[in-house]
Structure 1
């Protein structure tokens, strides 16, 4: 398999895998669904591999298809960058940058940097996703993502740009009624507000550091909320204690609406990374975005680790 026909078959396969069906891939490629399906079938025949499980409603990658898709994504990214070089696009990045951001951190810190980037690069379009879900960058065709917390093992390239600390908080009104906890053991006597992790639906445990050792508590929740700014409002209303990112509660702390509890047991700061797919070459749009997001190092409120 060689030449333009072979390249088209790999492109048809990659777009089908990315979008979960021949019809969606055909719309992206400007072809008929039957043409895309035939290209994928010829690729399977040429490789001697079954790349998709087909149903009447969707196609799902086989294990062989998953492995090929990962390799195709890297190759297509590098080809795109080579085309950009040939067109002289390095000096003026163009095209669509797809970026995935945590909701609060993205709105508060990243969007202002992206606004500046777009002013400097008017040929660049932005497709921004604001979600606290952990999506698959390669499968969703995302160029760049910002992630908060320690990363799981991954083939993605990670660059640390910031950090945030967690603070146990309550409102003055709540403390006046229920008293102020002085030790970890006192927390069992208080109402707990917890963050429901969007990926798993589980409660995020509270984390502390006592005597140089990490301590994790799973409080009995009086209230669960799956959105960070909603947690802040609940704590301000006196509904209980909650452990929250420092940058999320800084304004409320400054206004006296919230009080930090057990500050001497605050856990170490959590890292914040920007992530992208591996490859020897990065598209110009991704490279300039990474350079712009380096400014995040100076914007977070977390103390140095």
Structure 2
């Protein structure tokens, strides 16, 4: 038995909750994964995992073994990094999950700089506005905004993004400009945005001199993905709120018109999030630092 490989497989199953996800993330055939766990349990003379039809959980003995295995693997990785100068030139694969507009307009255009600095790191980008199971899906880090759902994760704030309320000139010519947020409730079509997680719509928010308004109206069209939301706005379907970094190029080209500029919406905090681990890998560490540096350029003042 390759005990080190068996340890890695056990740790991955304990985190992912299934043999299949462990097999996929480690790129090891499932029969090999099963055999390694059987050999490890036989070697130890104890049951590490409890199997059910839906999920695999660790036994009390497995939970204690997992903590020590995690520390051991981390220490081995630190030893390899020191011996192989991996800290100076990190290598390996990173899985990053990020929203579509952040990927298309900020992250991907900046990646040539990251690739130049770290040519031996391979990036796999999961691009969507949906939430992700970081541990189960073997995601190294997530770039997301707004309220964070999981308090067990490490979150580093990397930017604060502003919002713009806007519509196309064609829509405004036909329907007129709103003079106050209350006008949106009476005589305008709204391009809304709803949560991929809950399905609930996000209200339009406005603040001015200590006054805060929440406009919750029926939408003409609502989407749950940021790039599609911008496309809906550019198609003249109505008025909506979107990030300033997305809207400003179209405002400069006169394709969108900013509205209600004496009102504002609270800025949207942006985080890079990763699982807690005393042994943060060199490749993840350099990506987190680089991403924080890059996204800070887009933080609104």
TM-score for the superposition, normalised by structure 2: 0.84
**Greater shift after overlay, 181-190 or 212-221?**
212-221
1:175-254 paired onto structure 2 within 5 Å: 175-189=172-186, 190-254=188-252
What secondary structure is seen at the aligned counterpart in 1 of 2:220? strand
Q: Label 1:24 to 1:266 Cα distance change in 2 as closer, same or farther (>3 A).
A: closer
Report the Cα distance in structure 2 between the residues aligned to 1:152 and 1:40, rounded to whole angstroms: 35
Counterpart of 1:96 in structure 2 is 93
Paired residue total: 296
**Aligned-residue CA RMSD in angstroms?**
3.2
Counterpart of 1:21 in structure 2 is 18
What secondary structure is seen at the aligned counterpart in 2 of 1:263? coil
Name structure 1 gaps, 5 residues minimum.
none
* Alpha-carbon distance, 1:131 to partner: 1.3
Counterpart of 1:59 in structure 2 is 55
Q: Label 1:273 to 1:212 Cα distance change in 2 as closer, same or farther (>3 A).
A: same
Report the Cα distance in structure 1 between the residues aligned to 2:40 and 2:180, rounded to whole angstroms: 62
Report the Cα distance in structure 1 between the residues aligned to 2:256 and 2:82, rounded to whole angstroms: 52
* Alpha-carbon distance, 1:122 to partner: 2.1
User: Which string of whole-angstrom CA distances, capped at 9 and with x for unpartnered residues, describes residues 209-264 of structure 1?
Assistant: 13414432322111112222222222222211111111111111111111122122
**Greater shift after overlay, 213-222 or 64-73?**
64-73
2:158 to 151, 157, 161: 161
TM-score for the superposition, normalised by structure 1: 0.83
2:256 to 235, 258, 266: 258
Report the Cα distance in structure 2 between the residues aligned to 1:63 and 1:239, rounded to whole angstroms: 55
Q: Label 1:175 to 1:25 Cα distance change in 2 as closer, same or farther (>3 A).
A: closer
Report the Cα distance in structure 2 between the residues aligned to 1:131 and 1:183, rounded to whole angstroms: 33
Name structure 2 gaps, 5 residues minimum.
none
- Work out whether residues 128 and 225 of structure 2, in 8 Å CA contact, stay in contact via their aligned partners in 1: no
